[in-house]
Amino acid sequence: MVQYTGQELAVDVKRLGIKKAGVDMYDLLKRKMTGVESELVDFASELIRMPSPSLEEQAVARRVAERMTELGFDRVETDAIGNVVGILLGRSSESTVMVNAHMDTAAVEAESAWTRQPLSGVVENGTLHGVGASDCKGGLAAAIYAGALLKRSLLPLRGNVVVAATVAEEKGGSAGIRYLMEHTLPSLELKPTHAILAEPTGLDLFRGHTGWAQFDVVVQGISPFEVDDAVQAISRDLELDPEATPGIEESRIDRPRFDNVGGYRRGVIGVSRRLAVMDAGAMCGRIERTATRAAHGAGNVNVAVQIPKTEQRFYTRQTRMTETRVEAWEVDAYHPAIERARQVLAAAGREPRVGKWTLPRLGMATAGGVLVRDFNIPALGYGPGIEALCHAADESVPVQNLLDAAYGLAALCHGYVGIPVCGWTSDEI
């Protein structure tokens, strides 16, 4: 499912695998894992047992804030829409790495398809089961414990580490992360220089994914027949429009809705489209051209395409108007942030591949689009679990993956904002 290119695998990271002769900072981090392993798994399980569909994350948010405080984060804040932010303060604020994971889970649509209760949070045969295990409560728990590992290691940090547990990710539109970036972090005088998305990557490094957006094709006219014909023609042509990719949902067209407004007949076709090369604006233009062309023979109708705005009401009772739109994003394979991540993980004894999320179903996304495109922050994905299990029955995450993720995330954060441990050898000095 994951897309890798030969070029991306050019460097043999195995060659960089570190010898474990004495104590280095990675040994230290690993040793800090001992003793918190079961705590981390229990915490991830606890999060899974707490239902947290989008906009109903309050219980999880409260628990996350409590645990961050217990683990010694320097500051823990909950913002107006319910995002929880844990901060490890560095020596300066010139650099800040943010690890982001969302607290909400996709809706459980076919519970009968699950072989265990979706909210069981049970560990069986080394695997943690339940909704959100991969997406993204496992990553959330790992991110929080990565912060704890750094705190306990006493390794000095040049910059800040922010663990951001956000709301409303699965709702589309990235309202949680957008509010965090526009309001919460600036109010805390924090500006991330790097971001890590603890979404499922199977502990590889992911550097982008396609986007998706929801459009409303609005057809209006005096004659109901002409409007109905136009809607039918438009729906047919839009079905044929995108090139199909096997296994990838490129487009979804909802059943049209009709009403009468001010004496006009109105038909609305909901269209969801994958965004790759085109952004939502360009895709809007393309859909409009297709729709206008299709409606041309149907009579005297007016066709307009828009990205609808819907009101999202967060668990804190705050509301925001949000477009259901996630832009495609990508960080260059040779971007310094990716290079640095590879170096760090190789030194930590890991062998990550660099790739991208496939996101086979429309509606799946990460906060990367907002971070990279709107805020120009290099982001990469590194988290436990695999995307194939997300938004699906029997979602799970291997426990070892979870533990490795906490260690890897701690190493990555240190790589971005830690003071490099260089020159202190394993010779017993």
Partner 1 sequence: MKVLVVMARHQTIDVSWFDGMKVRLDGQSLPYDGDPESVGRVVHERVSSDESRAVDAIVTRARYGGIRFRDLAVWNEATDRALEQIAPEAPLPVGITRAQAASLQAAFPDLPVWLAFETSFFADLPEREALYGLDPVFMTEHRIRRTGFHGWYHRAAVHAARSTARRERSRTWSRILSICLEPRPELAAIRDGRPVMVTGGMTPFEGLPGESSCGDLDPSILLKVVDSGRLGPEQLNQVAGEEGGLQALAGGPVTLEAVIRCDHAGLELAHTVWMERLIRAVGAGIAALGGLDGVVFSGRYAGAGRWLEIGLRERLGQALEPSVMWGVSYFSERLDAVLAEPAILKLMACGPVPERT
Nearer to partner 1, 136 or 411 (CB): 411
Nearer to partner 1, 252 or 353 (CB): 353
Strands (E), 107-159: 123-124, 127-129
Shortest Cβ distance from residue 109 to partner 1 (Å)?
44
List the one residue from 9, 21, 113, 282 that touches partner 1 (CB under 8 A): 21
Q: Which of residues 326-355 bind partner 1 (CB under 8 A)?
A: 339-340, 342-344, 346-348
List the one residue from 2, 80, 155, 307 that touches partner 1 (CB under 8 A): 155
Nearer to partner 1, 288 or 339 (CB): 339
DSSP string, 242-304: SPPBTTB--EEEPPPEEEEETTEEEEEEEEEEEESSS-HHHHHHHHHHHHHHHHGGG-SEEEE
Q: Decide if residue 425 touches partner 1 (CB under 8 A).
A: yes
Shortest Cβ distance from residue 358 to partner 1 (Å)?
27
Q: Rounded to whole angstroms, how far apart are CA atoms 412 and 406?
A: 10
- For residue 376, count other CB atoms closer than 10 A to its CB: 7
Q: Rounded to whole angstroms, how far apart are CA atoms 126 and 371?
A: 34
Q: Name the 3-class secondary structure at 94.
A: coil
Interface segment toward partner 1; rule CB under 8 A; list 11-19, 217-225, 302-310, 381-389: 11-19
Tokens, residue 30:
């690993």
Q: Decide if residue 15 touches partner 1 (CB under 8 A).
A: yes
Q: Which of residues 60-99 bind partner 1 (CB under 8 A)?
A: 91
Interface segment toward partner 1; rule CB under 8 A; list 121-129, 303-311, 385-393, 412-420: 412-420
With beta carbons less than 8 A apart as the criterion, state whether 140 and 103 touch: yes
Nearer to partner 1, 95 or 343 (CB): 343
Helices and strands (H, E) in the chain, number of each type: 11, 21
Tokens, residue 272:
């969801």
Q: Name the 3-class secondary structure at 48.
A: helix
Q: Rounded to whole angstroms, how far apart are CA atoms 394 and 254?
A: 27
Interface segment toward partner 1; rule CB under 8 A; list 18-26, 240-248, 270-278, 283-291: 18-26
Q: Decide if residue 202 touches partner 1 (CB under 8 A).
A: no
List the one residue from 34, 115, 125, 376 that touches partner 1 (CB under 8 A): 34
Shortest Cβ distance from residue 23 to partner 1 (Å)?
5
SS3 sequence of 391-425 = CCCCCEEEHHHHHHHHHHHHHHHHHHHECCCCCCC
Shortest Cβ distance from residue 208 to partner 1 (Å)?
20
With beta carbons less than 8 A apart as the criterion, state whether 189 and 72 touch: no
Interface segment toward partner 1; rule CB under 8 A; list 19-27, 115-123, 219-227, 243-251: 19-27
Q: Which residues bind partner 1 (CB under 8 A)?
A: 11, 15-16, 18-19, 21-25, 27-28, 31-32, 34, 91, 152-156, 158, 339-340, 342-344, 346-348, 415, 418-429
